[in-house]
């Protein structure tokens, strides 16, 4: 499956993978910044999100679609930057083709087998209840309230709502996308010196816990805390994140981010 994509710039490839409530447009402010810094920035819609409508019977792991798309784009080696679902798919991609990965930046990660806190369970329940009542806009409001921080601007809230609304409509029309499986993190330890974990200051505690466990399991740096952001760090803090990426991706292997 060739995934829809946006790209900008030339140089080392940096692949941007979005969160579950989002699509590739969450990276629109990052593309010109990374291009200006000398990177080829590639933002993908993951299967079943944004414009990536799933073909009938498609059951491939998302990482396979990511790798197939990058093959077609001629990106042999690359760094992966993923938020939430995107972090999981980045890990899955790195586990599938570690020889192609230059770096990993993983934001807002939580493994499937980690017990959910009361706050996360409540958010899921509120979304399911709204959808069961055919209240699409209610489900969208739950997502905006849950995944954005208190200082998110009206423009950011509108953008987040538009992405989530589009994904929910896509799901109603075509069903749930394939679920990415959690990889064996111990197998990713060779990438430890090129892996950075981050979490939003106002994210649910599930993702701080998941981020710490991820960094410990791989031996990675972090978690670095993104100020004034919740779960959708790239949407709320694009400038901060681009500065972090440039500093981390250009440093010699084995050093940690400041």
pLDDT in tens, 195-229: 999 999 999 999 999 999 999 999 999 899 999 99
Residue 253 has a pLDDT of 52
What mean pLDDT comes out for the span 60-89? 96
Give the integer Cα–Cα distance in Å for 70 and 60: 15
Global pTM?
0.95
Do residues 42 and 22 lie in contact, with contact meaning Cβ atoms separated by under 8 Å?
A: no
What mean pLDDT comes out for the span 147-165? 97
Helical residues (DSSP H) of 75-181, grouped into ranges? 85-96, 118-132, 136-147, 154-174
Share of the chain above pLDDT 90, in %: 87
Residue 217 has a pLDDT of 94
Two tokens, residue 236:
């709320």
Do residues 130 and 2 lie in contact, with contact meaning Cβ atoms separated by under 8 Å?
A: no
pLDDT at 254 over 50: no
What mean pLDDT comes out for the span 54-80? 93
Two tokens, residue 108:
């807002």
pLDDT at 153 over 90: yes
């Amino acid at each position: 499956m060739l995934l829809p994509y946006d790209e900008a710039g030339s140089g080392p490839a940096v692949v941007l993978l979005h969160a579950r409530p989002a699509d590739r447009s969450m990276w629109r402010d990052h593309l010109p910044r990374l291009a200006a810094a000398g990177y080829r920035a590639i933002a993908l819609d993951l299967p079943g999100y944004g414009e990536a409508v799933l073909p009938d019977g498609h059951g491939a792991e998302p990482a396979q679609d990511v790798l197939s798309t990058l093959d077609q784009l001629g990106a042999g080696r690359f760094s992966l930057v993923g938020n939430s679902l995107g972090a999981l798919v980045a890990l899955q991609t790195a586990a599938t083709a570690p020889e192609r990965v230059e770096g990993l930046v993983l934001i807002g990660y939580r493994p499937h087998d980690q017990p959910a806190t009361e706050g996360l369970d409540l958010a899921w329940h509120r979304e399911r209840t709204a959808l069961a009542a055919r209240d699409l806009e209610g489900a969208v409001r739950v997502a905006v309230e849950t995944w954005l921080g208190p200082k998110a601007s009206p423009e950011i809230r509108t953008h987040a709502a538009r992405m989530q609304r589009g994904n929910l409509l896509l799901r109603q029309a075509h069903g749930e996308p394939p679920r990415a499986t959690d990889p064996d993190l111990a197998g990713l330890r060779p990438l430890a010196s090129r892996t950075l974990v981050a979490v939003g200051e106002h994210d649910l505690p599930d993702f701080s816990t998941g981020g710490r466990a991820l960094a410990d399991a791989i031996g990675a740096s972090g978690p670095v805390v993104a100020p004034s952001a919740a779960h959708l760090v790239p949407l709320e803090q694009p400038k901060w994140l681009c500065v972090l990426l440039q500093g981390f991706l250009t440093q010699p292997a084995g050093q940690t981010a400041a």
